[in-house]
Structure 1
């Protein structure tokens, strides 16, 4: 299973991520940001605090997280649409 090996917050609700299988690119994560746990991520300063968690996904200091599998599928979809 692929894991996120690095992540960088970009403007808006976008992340640049690199995966253990070599896939990398920018992902719009706004579709993942629903519910009270994810509300703080809409604040740019808080969104910038993203990090790779111990499970290989991405997370923020309040415990909000997005799985590597979900991010990987989203990036594959975005890259396919760009072709």
Structure 2
């Protein structure tokens, strides 16, 4: 992954090295009862602290998303909604 931009409503716009781009919708994952490591992302300022580390979208608490899982879903559907494989 070569680019990630934070959007409103717990969404990200991502672009992969081959030019594929799409949307990541984290809203359901972040707000579910068993959000685990993603629970701190409910704080908008914390969610906005997302950065790329080794090609993965990552947050300061160590939460990250598998770029391969996102790539597969975005290639298939144009969006990754947090219901696909996380790691």
TM-score category of the 2 structures, normalised to the smaller one:
0.7 to 0.9
Aligned CA RMSD, in angstroms, stands at 1.9
Instruction: State the TM-score, normalizing by the size of structure 2.
Output: 0.74
Question: In 2, are the aligned partners of 1:51 and 1:58 still within 8 Å (CA)?
Answer: yes
Instruction: State the TM-score, normalizing by the size of structure 1.
Output: 0.77
Q: Deviations over 1:40-76 (max 9, x none)?
A: 112111110001112x111000000001111112322
- Equivalent residues in 2 for 1:1-83 (5 A)? 4-33=1-30, 34-54=34-54, 56-79=55-78
Aligned-partner Cα distance in 2 for 1:30–1:57:
18
Aligned length: 76
Aligned-partner Cα distance in 2 for 1:72–1:25:
9
5+ residue gaps, structure 2, are 80-87
